[in-house]
């Protein structure tokens, strides 16, 4: 099979194509023929050596934690799936490949009627939004929530969950995405490039979540929380003193963050009212394609969910 990976950290051009044996399934695993691979901001952070602690890699790393694919083989103990099913797979890694093995607990049926492209990038951002709001944010009906990065993959789902739970939503994104976030249900829109607009929402939110790309809003975001409020960050804790009592919650994955709990909620939400997933941009499954995809992700100007089409 074909895979895309790298054996040293660096810029997007570290990627190379490798040919390796197609993996075989264990008793509780499925083999997926990949159709789409979801590219996450964290993939770029890992590739650049952001989590390396200064150590060299010196071995082949095939990234890819989320794919959409067709089941082509099942282990003997797998239940609830059949050959030919198009499913969401969360292999954790090694998804930048045309075949990938996934444990059955990390395989999910697509929400009903959700197109393949949307479903391909849905679970990672959806589950993150779910845990950010419920388990870390402890959102309550009637509260005001300000979402930084509201037009992003995580932020756009967060708007829809927050509205479903009865919160007042202030969406912070760039002007080009104003109509998009309002259509998703946000009550108010603020352009993060306009300091006066940001100033007008200082001290308004019971809870702020920072889902901006690479935590670009970390410092300015604290000013938006009211005294006694909560600030949940997805990547980096702000350090600015505020003179306010703010509970700063740094989101970390814990064993309790099972994909199933979040997917059950999101699937039910989708059946009640179709969940809109950030529009996608497709890149080819090739070295050229993955280099362009990572470059576009880091640049941040595309405002699309980035996928490789296999
Ligand atoms: N801890 C976890 O488990 C976890 C999981 C998933 C993601 N994350 C993190 O969450 C963040 C969002 O992920 P995503 O997949 O939703 O990313 P995304 O789709 O690329 O969305 C990024 C958002 O950030 C906004 N943005 C870009 N530049 C900005 C700036 N300079 N200031 C303020 N906002 C800016 C974008 O707004 P416009 O496009 O409107 O300009 C967009 O709304 C990333 O930092 C990611 O690493 C964490």
Query: How much is the pLDDT for 241?
Result: 67
What is the whole-number distance in angstroms between the Cα of residue 155 and the centre of ligand 1? 7
Tokens describing residue 244: 């306010």
Query: How much is the pLDDT for 185?
Result: 98
Over the stretch 24-82, which tens digit does the pLDDT of each residue have?
Answer: 999 999 999 999 999 999 999 999 999 999 999 989 999 999 999 999 999 999 999 99
Residue identifier of the C-alpha nearest atom 36 of ligand 1: 149
Mutate to test the pocket of ligand 1, among 50, 122, 152, 255 (most ligand atoms within 8 A of CB): 152
Q: What is the pTM of this model?
A: 0.94
C-alpha 197/C-alpha 200 separation (Å) is: 5
The answer to whether the beta carbons of residues 305 and 286 sit under 8 Å apart is no
Q: Which residues of the chain are modeled with pLDDT < 70?
A: 240-241, 252-256
Q: Where are the beta strands (DSSP E) in the chain?
A: 2-5, 16-19, 29-38, 67-74, 86-89, 99-103, 107-109, 144-148, 168-173, 188-191, 205-210, 225-233, 247-250, 280-284, 305-309
Query: How much is the pLDDT for 253?
Result: 64
Angle between helices 259-272 and 153-164 (to 10 degrees): 70
59 vs 5, 19, 62, 66, 99, CA distance in Å? 10, 15, 10, 22, 20
CA atoms within 13 A on the CB side of 63: 24
Query: How much is the pLDDT for 300?
Result: 87
Query: How much is the pLDDT for 255?
Result: 59
């Amino acid at each position: 099979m074909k895979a895309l990976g790298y054996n040293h950290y660096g810029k997007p051009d570290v990627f190379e194509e490798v040919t390796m044996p197609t993996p075989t399934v264990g008793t509780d695993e499925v083999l997926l023929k990949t159709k789409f691979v979801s590219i996450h901001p964290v993939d770029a952070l890992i590739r650049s050596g952001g989590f390396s602690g200064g150590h060299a890699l010196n071995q082949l790393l095939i990234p890819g934690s989320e794919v959409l694919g067709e089941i082509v083989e099942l282990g003997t103990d797998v239940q609830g799936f059949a050959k030919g099913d198009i499913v969401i797979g969360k292999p954790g890694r090694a998804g930048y490949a045309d075949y990938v093995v996934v444990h059955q607990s990390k395989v999910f049926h697509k929400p009903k009627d959700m197109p393949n492209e949307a479903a391909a990038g849905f679970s990672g951002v959806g589950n993150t939004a779910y845990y950010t709001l419920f388990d870390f944010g402890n959102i309550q009906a009637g509260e005001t929530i300000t979402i930084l990065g509201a037009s992003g993959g995580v932020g756009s789902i967060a708007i829809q969950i927050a509205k479903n739970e009865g919160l007042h939503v202030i969406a912070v994104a760039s002007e080009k995405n104003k109509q998009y976030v309002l259509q998703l249900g946000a009550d108010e829109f603020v352009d993060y490039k306009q300091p006066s607009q940001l100033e007008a929402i200082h001290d308004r939110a019971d809870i702020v979540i920072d889902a901006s790309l690479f935590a670009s809003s970390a410092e300015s975001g604290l000013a938006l929380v009211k005294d006694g409020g909560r600030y949940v960050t997805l990547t980096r804790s702000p350090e600015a003193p505020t003179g306010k009592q703010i509970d700063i919650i740094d989101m970390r994955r814990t064993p309790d963050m099972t994909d199933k709990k979040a997917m059950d909620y999101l699937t039910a939400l989708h059946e009640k009212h179709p969940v809109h997933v950030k529009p996608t941009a497709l890149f080819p499954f090739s070295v050229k394609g993955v280099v362009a995809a990572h470059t576009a992700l880091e640049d941040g100007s595309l405002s699309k969910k980035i996928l490789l089409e296999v």
